[in-house]
Amino acid sequence: MKILVVEDDENKLDQISEILRLIPNLSLTSKRSYQSGLREILDSRYDLIVLDMSMPTYDKSSSEPGGRFRKFAGKEILAEIRREKVDARVLLVTGFDTFGEGATFITLQEMDKKLSVLFPSVYLGSIFYNASETNWADELKAYVLTIQETLHA
């Protein structure tokens, strides 16, 4: 099973990767921004994409600050997946329970419902990530194991 993780936070990426590496028969790739994640999605096929909602446009480095920060990058990537007709399953893993402000303010629960309606063929759901808790890791493992079972059925 091939999994792509698109996540800009190093600690969160490390924790997600650590959990996924415990599951046998996985191939894991990671990208750190909207652009590098989208390019990878369009260039390769993955059984599961674990996607952050908010991230920089470009990979950060000592000489590159990452460009514009995209509060809804995950939703934008989902729209590109649909537009390009990419065969993928996407799981949102985010450390935020609200997004945007003013007219664009939305809770994670509301975002989850909206993404389910907008992208029903690819969007699996969301997991609220909290570094000090472990229930997010259990949810992630359950999703992955379920997908593995369906792939081998």
Burial tier of 55 (Cβ tally within 10 Å: 0-12, 13-18, 19+): buried
Q: Is the pLDDT of residue 5 over 90?
A: yes
C-alpha 51/C-alpha 25 separation (Å) is 20
Q: Are 78 and 119 in contact (CB under 8 A)?
A: yes
Range(s) of the domain holding residue 107: 2-151
Backbone angles phi, psi at 116, to 5 degrees: -65, -35
Which domain CATH number covers 81?
Answer: 3.40.50.2300
% of the chain at pLDDT higher than 90: 89
Q: What is the mean pLDDT of residues 10-28?
A: 95
Domains held by the chain: number: 1
User: What is this structure's pTM?
Assistant: 0.95
| pLDDT of res. 72 | 94
How confident is the prediction for the chain on average, in pLDDT? 95
